[in-house]
A = this chain, B = another copy of it.
Amino acid sequence: MTPGTLTPPDGVTGTLDETRRWMRPAMQEAVERLHPVPRLISGFTLGWLTVGGSPRTGAGGKGVRPALAGLAAVAAGGRAEDAAPGAAAVEFVHAFSLVHDDIMDGDELRRHRATAWKAYGVGAAVLTGDGLLALALDTLARTGNADAVLRLTSVLVELVNGQAADTAFESRPWSGPDAVTVEEYRAMAVGKTASLLGCAASIGWLLGGGDREGSEKMDRMGRHLGLAFQAVDDLLGIWGETEVTGKAVYNDLRQGKKSLPVVAALRAGDEELVRLLEARPADGLEARRAALLIERAGGRSYTEELAERETAAALALIDEVGGRAGEELAALARYIVARRA
């Protein structure tokens, strides 16, 4: 989760707080099994510790993936805390991917703190990511639920491929036959973002005692949600206000990111837009012009419509399989997507 999420409505806040209550012990117990060095860096990464290792309050991400897992367990007829090993696993995988992605992307800051590699060195960060991944898998494997484990391992392959695709986009041209297509963008976003949300929901369902068929639906639900989330994130990356996103306006355009509004807009073949993007907008005026051309070429509306469509598809599936947790799931889903674009 990047900054820019709304303050959650009361019901969602309750769900998130409750989730942390039953998930945290499972995570802490797991992290205790690591050697002191990766244990410290894991605690830092998860937001529990300062860089020097002192306890830290008001910590970490919001935990929407674990909350999704817990509600899916309730939807399947179980208790939210039945999902604890799965919730911990997806949270560890999320932390692993942030630690390694920050190395690959050279990012020095995340949530207004130094990234792990910046604070502790590349080698220690690589190892800590590996440790978080090992804990994720081992925590889930200990449940003996082979279906849940297989969900997670196959999503790991998708995550790696999504990250590889995202990195490869950087060296692709802005126009011509080798330009990134909307379909390629979608596949990348499914792998990099949506697959783990699908995984959280389907694993939670399985650990709550649900059947395989329902877990497929939960997986699809989470993926729709993830695509909607990513689309909104892309909108904010261009049109988001600095005080909401914590980033400069038109940030993604200055960075040369081939995000969905850009990729969708470029299908129209506007040569001025291509020229602006190829040269990277040099100042606020140029970036503003590029944003305007993207909007005129339909890139903004395409992305907004995709976000709405994917949200609607997720909510329809929640209607179908949400059971006792239907209302809470719908509220969480809306919260994940709703952001001040």
Contact = CB atoms under 8 A, between A and B. Distances in A.
A153 B30 CA distance: 13
A134 to B, nearest CB: 4
A156 B33 CA distance: 12
Given A37-B167, A134-B159, A156-B138, A127 B146 contact: no
- Copies of the protein in its oligomer: 2
A33 B134 contact: no
A123 interface: yes
Contact of A141 (B126, B149, B167): B149
B134 A168 contact: no
A126 B165 CA distance: 15
A104 B123 CA distance: 4
Contacts of A281: none
Interface string A69-108: 0000000000000000000000000000000100111100
A177 interface: no
B157 A138 contact: yes
Interface in A143-184: 144-146, 149-150, 153-154, 156-157, 159-161, 163-165, 167-168
Interface in A231-274: none
Contact of A134 (B126, B127, B134, B157): B157
Contacts of A164: 34-38, 127, 131
A135 interface: yes
B163 A127 contact: yes
B130 A100 contact: yes
A168 B35 contact: yes
A142 interface: yes
Nearest to A149: B141
B153 A138 contact: yes
Contact of A157 (B129, B131, B157): B131
Contacts of A104: 123-124, 126-127
A153 B141 CA distance: 7
Interface in A104-144: 104-106, 122-124, 126-127, 129-131, 133-135, 137-138, 140-142, 144
Interface centre among A100, A127, A144, A154 (most CB of B within 10 A): A127
Contacts of A142: 150
Contacts of A137: 137, 153, 156
Nearest to A133: B133
Interface of A: 33-38, 100, 103-106, 122-124, 126-127, 129-131, 133-135, 137-138, 140-142, 144-146, 149-150, 153-154, 156-157, 159-161, 163-165, 167-168
8 contacts: A38-B160, A100-B127, A104-B123, A122-B122, A130-B160, A131-B161, A138-B156, A141-B153
